[in-house]
A and B are shown apart, each in its own frame.
Chain A
Amino acid sequence: MNGLTEAANTLACELIGETVRTFGGARLGVCGTSMVPAIRPGDLVSVERAGLSEVSPGEIVVFRRCGRLIVHRVVVKFGGRADPFLVTRGDRTRRDDGLVSSPELIGRVTHIKRNHRRVPAPSRLNLTEHMICRLLRFSDRATCFYLRLAVRWDELFSVRTVWRP
């Protein structure tokens, strides 16, 4: 949605929200780095319709805010059954997002597609990923370096897969 005005972006978010509500899901391309290493720019995430009461801490959700779609992880869920709220945060961001309300929530991320491989969205980070997140949180330069390294690694890995007897 880059290059569009805020009003046009808001329309795009509305249409995507409506698509997920009507058809139960959608696939969206990711362009930010706030969820690295779990989700990288260029990844395709499968979003499934879900209400606030259906998502749990640890899950990755998509919500709309200020004419943008945001893909972040649920940190805390609170409030009563009738009026729940989510606190979300990007794995690589230093602060929590503002409270996510029901009309803002579009759904949960079920799968991530990268380099023709589709994997379930991780509901928790392992120790290594935690350490990477901590490191990347404090340096955009380190994040760029990590992404370059990850792409190179993927290339090498895919070549090895092809040549494996």
Chain B
Amino acid sequence: MATLTALAERSDVIVEIGGLPIRLRSEDPSFVRLIQMRYAGYVSASEEATFDFEIELVPPGIDSGDQDLSVRWDSGRWLMERGDFRAEFNPSTARGRIAQSINPYSLDSVLRIVHTLLLARKGGFLVHASSAIRNGRAFLFAGVSGAGKTTMARLAPPDAALLTDEISYVTRPDGRYFAVGTPFFGELARAGENLRAPIECVYLLAKGLENKIEPIMGAEAVRGLLGNILFFAQDAEFVKLVFDAAFDFVSRVPVRRLTFVPDRRIWELVV
């Protein structure tokens, strides 16, 4: 209880996703508590952070998150804007600012964008996919909304560790691709486990009348993956980095099409 109180009185919290500790500061203790709860499992006890963000809370405006997102490089910093937030991030000083109202969703979006930018330089990416670890290997199930990402997560057997049901975090620390748990969730409304494992395979999801796995090769596999990668920046250099990452990923990790009927037997087929 004493620890909880100490945490609640702090004006900052360090959220570590994919091994990247990001300090989030706010003058509002209730918002810091909200961040701690939202990112439970990903809050670092360390005092060291690689990046610092100052969060300025503004009254909710009439704008909503439905407005077009803009992410652009301007005068040595990234500018990120949507109806519900404005943020900037300077990679050389490792500092940034976020102006948003009191809600965890805007911060979620900013963190996702920042991670896509940081990952791009390291050959990684975020992808619309649920993912889980079973027998020490990670499996990704990629697809658009309604393709079955959350369904696959719900059907996961008890010995599978769920990394996310919505946005998978792919890193490439030493030439091998790993899937890492994220707090970014979809319909399941549950953060993934903070674990990582080498990626065994990516399944592109399709619903059908029977369970079926087909290998996908070459440009079709790249297209399938690219269609699910999250990337927001309007910047030629970074777009090229993402394309290069997709080409490299597909040349190393098998991509298959998984047609499935939603019952538990599918997991015995895929793993």
**Chain A positions near chain B (C-beta within 8 angstroms):** 1, 3-5, 7-12, 14-15, 17-18
Contact = CB atoms under 8 A, between A and B. Distances in A.
Contact of A9 (B218, B223, B247): B247
B244 interface: yes
B70 interface: no
B218 A12 contact: no
A3 B244 contact: yes
Contacts of B247: 1, 4, 8-9, 11-12, 15
Nearest to B249: A8
Contacts of B250: 8, 11
A67 to B, nearest CB: 10
A81 B57 CA distance: 70
B219 interface: yes
Contacts of B27: none
Contacts of B214: none
Contacts, number: 38
Max chain B CB contacts within 10 Å: which of A4, A7, A8, A14?
A: A8
A43 to B, nearest CB: 15
B238 interface: no
A18 B251 CA distance: 17
Interface residues of B, number: 12
A152 to B, nearest CB: 25
A1 B244 CA distance: 7
29 contacts: A1-B244, A4-B244, A4-B247, A4-B248, A5-B248, A5-B251, A8-B244, A8-B247, A8-B248, A8-B250, A9-B247, A10-B251, A11-B218, A11-B219, A11-B221, A11-B222, A11-B247, A11-B250, A11-B251, A12-B222, A12-B243, A12-B247, A14-B218, A14-B219, A15-B219, A15-B222, A17-B219, A18-B219, A18-B223
Interface in B178-223: 218-219, 221-223
Given A1-B247, A11-B251, A14-B219, 6 more contacts: A3-B244, A5-B248, A5-B251, A7-B251, A17-B219, A18-B219
A15 to B, nearest CB: 4
A3 B172 CA distance: 15
Contacts of A5: 248, 251
Contacts of A4: 244, 247-248
Nearest to B236: A29
A14 B226 CA distance: 14
A140 to B, nearest CB: 26
Contacts of A14: 218-219, 222
Contacts of A1: 244, 247
Contacts of A10: 251
Contacts of A12: 222, 243-244, 247
B43 to A, nearest CB: 36
Contacts of A15: 219, 222-223, 247
Nearest to A9: B247
Interface string B71-99: 00000000000000000000000000000
A61 to B, nearest CB: 20
A132 B244 CA distance: 35
A49 B124 CA distance: 32
